[in-house]
Structures are given as structure tokens and as C-alpha cells.
């Protein structure tokens, strides 16, 4: 996926020039995959330019979506993108620390969605803003899952995307927060390759566990029917 200053989708466009983390496949996957049916209030944690919040707004015609980020430039850009979208009255950009919000906000969300940081042990991205946006020292899986557990309604869902190697960390953090895996999707970039990402749905309700696989592309580079069905409502060329 190219790093364009303005990334255009079928029903909206996002400026992602100043935000630390640009529009990417992980965010689009999560925005298209997270469960939105019947949800009234949504919180997007670490919203960046706001693409996941915008995708949720497109998929659910009535939900009110709060989008929080600690980075000032990201929130300014998200606010611009929200204001230019068809759903501006349902989208709110909040500059702040999710950890503080989780400790002070007692209002319930039906869905908390996040493309969280994951450079725990790897090479740090260059630039202070990218470090803030992408290093788990700023928001660990444990903090994210525990905070979401406090903010969610009893039947609410936390939906995140992680690298496959984070599976143990997420399961451990979820157990500590009394959260259960409702659905887990293994994401394969190219057919035949091992999964590189995991899409999670976590809930306090223990109501069954589904595990499946999503393959993005065939070996010849063309998109699979699975991926087209998931993201075709968003990408211009699908």
C-alpha cells in the first residue's frame, strides 16, 4: 500500500501527511473486519489519521465514534478527515492518553477497536512521533486490554490486530483482565505463507470461540475473493 499524502477510498478520503503512522493494510483489515452490527458507541484507540473510525462509520449508519490519540498532529489530522467525511456529526477526535481515559471514563462502549503498537523487541521506528505511535512502552497489550475491559459494556467487544508472535502476550493479558477470545482470524499475506497477523475479538462474555483464516493474495499477486469481499466496499480499485 502506497504512502500517499491523501488516501482515497470509495466514500471518503484521508489526509495522512502529519500523522506518525500512515494508512496501512493492518488498519484497513481491522476497520473492515471488526464487529459493528448493533453497536451504538465505539472507541478507536490510537486513531492516527482516523481511517478505522471512518470505516466503522461507513459500515454502521448510526454508531457514534470517539477516536483518541496521544499525538497532537494525528488528532488534528483526524479531526480534518472527520469533518470532511459524510459522517462528521457522529465522529469525535479526542487528544489524550487512553490510560487516563480508562481510569476516569465510566461510560460504556459497545466496541473498542485498536491497531495497537507492536515494536516491543524489534528495531524502533525513526522519529519521536513514530516511536510514540508504535512502541509498546507507550501502550502495552496489558494496558490496552485492561483499559478496554473497564470501558466496555458487559457484552462489549475489544477488536485488535497484532503480529502472530504476540499471541501469547495477548492471551495472557486477556486472562488477567477476565476477557475471553470470541474470534481469532489468522491473516496470511500470500497463499502458502505462514500467517503474519492475528485479528482478535475479545469479550468479557464467554460465549464460544471461533478460529479461522484470511488470505489476502494469491501467489500471482491478485487478491483473493475473501479479501475482496472484506475490503471491496472501501478500496477504489476493487
From the DSSP assignment, how many helices (H) and strands (E) are in the chain? 8, 10
pLDDT band at 132 (very low <50, low <70, confident <90, very high): very low
Region 6-231: CATH code: 3.40.50.150
CA nearest to 119, candidates 109, 105, 133: 133
CA nearest to 78, candidates 58, 65, 93: 93
Residues of the chain with pLDDT > 70, as a percent, come to 87
Q: How would you classify the pairing of strands 6-8 and 13-15? A: antiparallel
Q: Cell numbers 485498536 correspond to what residue?
A: 114
Domain boundaries, the chain: 6-231
CA nearest to 30, candidates 222, 209, 198: 198
| Predicted confidence (pLDDT) per residue in 146-164, tens digit | 999 999 999 999 999 999 9
**Cα dist from 194 to 165, 187, 189, 197, whole Å:** 12, 9, 8, 9
pLDDT at 20: 65
Q: How far is Cα 23 from Cα 212, in angstroms, rounded to an integer? A: 25
Q: Is the pLDDT of residue 51 over 70?
A: yes
Q: Facing residues of 235 across strands? A: 9
This prediction's pTM: 0.89
**Cα dist from 101 to 9, 42, 96, 113, 170, whole Å:** 31, 14, 8, 15, 21
Q: How far is Cα 187 from Cα 174, in angstroms, rounded to an integer? A: 20
Q: How far is Cα 155 from Cα 237, in angstroms, rounded to an integer? A: 36
Q: What are phi and psi of 234, to 5 degrees?
A: -115, -50
CA nearest to 96, candidates 126, 76, 71, 133: 71
pLDDT at 16: 82
- Where does the chain have alpha helices with state H? 25-33, 51-59, 72-83, 98-104, 128-134, 141-151, 167-176, 225-231
Amino acid at each position: 500500500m502506497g504512502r500517499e499524502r491523501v488516501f482515497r477510498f470509495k466514500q471518503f478520503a484521508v489526509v495522512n501527511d502529519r500523522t506518525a503512522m500512515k494508512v496501512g493494510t493492518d488498519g484497513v483489515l481491522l476497520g473492515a473486519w471488526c464487529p459493528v452490527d448493533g453497536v451504538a458507541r465505539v472507541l478507536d484507540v490510537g486513531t492516527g489519521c482516523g481511517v478505522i473510525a471512518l470505516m466503522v462509520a461507513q459500515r454502521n449508519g448510526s454508531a457514534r465514534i470517539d477516536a483518541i490519540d496521544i499525538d497532537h498532529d494525528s488528532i488534528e489530522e483526524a479531526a480534518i478527515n472527520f469533518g470532511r467525511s459524510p459522517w462528521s456529526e457522529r465522529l469525535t477526535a479526542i487528544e489524550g492518553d487512553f490510560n487516563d481515559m480508562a481510569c476516569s471514563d465510566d461510560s460504556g462502549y459497545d466496541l473498542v477497536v485498536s491497531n495497537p503498537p507492536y515494536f516491543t523487541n524489534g528495531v524502533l521506528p525513526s522519529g519521536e512521533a513514530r516511536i510514540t505511535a508504535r512502541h509498546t512502552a507507550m501502550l502495552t497489550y496489558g494496558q490496552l486490554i485492561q483499559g478496554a475491559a473497564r470501558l466496555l459494556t458487559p457484552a462489549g467487544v475489544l477488536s485488535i490486530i497484532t503480529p502472530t508472535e504476540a499471541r501469547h502476550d495477548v492471551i495472557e493479558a486477556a486472562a488477567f483482565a477476565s476477557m475471553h477470545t470470541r474470534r481469532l482470524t489468522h491473516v496470511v499475506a500470500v497463499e502458502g505463507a505462514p500467517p503474519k497477523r492475528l485479528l482478535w475479538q475479545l469479550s468479557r462474555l464467554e460465549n464460544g470461540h471461533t478460529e479461522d483464516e484470511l488470505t489476502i493474495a494469491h501467489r500471482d499477486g491478485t487478491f483473493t475473493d475473501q479479501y475482496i469481499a472484506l475490503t471491496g466496499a472501501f478500496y477504489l480499485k476493487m
